[in-house]
Chain A
């Protein structure tokens, strides 16, 4: 079964510093990959998605992610953290053929003033 692993359940960065949230997938065939953000007491918002059209994917709020097949990774980055980026971030995978859509365990991002 396809799955994603998020390394680091908690990440703290200073305001203005680089944000790096890690996601690795396990699949012999690159799946569809997504990053979602969840602010406190809210639903899930799509940040960006990998659809095999381009390995570097730009999303909303200045986030981007690079798909690296050799490393089976899809890490999320943002050059400069903002206080409003504090939230829970989930990497997710969708199968090509089915409708199974699974989340990683999530990474809680704290931004320090």
Chain B
């Protein structure tokens, strides 16, 4: 079974509108972390936001917020006031356990976001 699922391969959003990118995860660990990364066409991976499994409040970082619904095992990324520079691939990733082997990340398949002017 997929550990991280991003069901939207591609999405369009109008500039200045908000957009939600979906991410669901599967784990039996009680302690885990969820990350969102942005990958522009140039290839680098840019860290956006982190949510720990024990964090009671949804994480926010500037225009990015994470809609964390633990019971539903979802960690959707919300981008407010979209900008043209937000056009990129977005990956959801999970780190299982507090100190798992190397603390590796498992990535979802990604969502390509395209912002329309």
A and B, one complex?
Answer: no
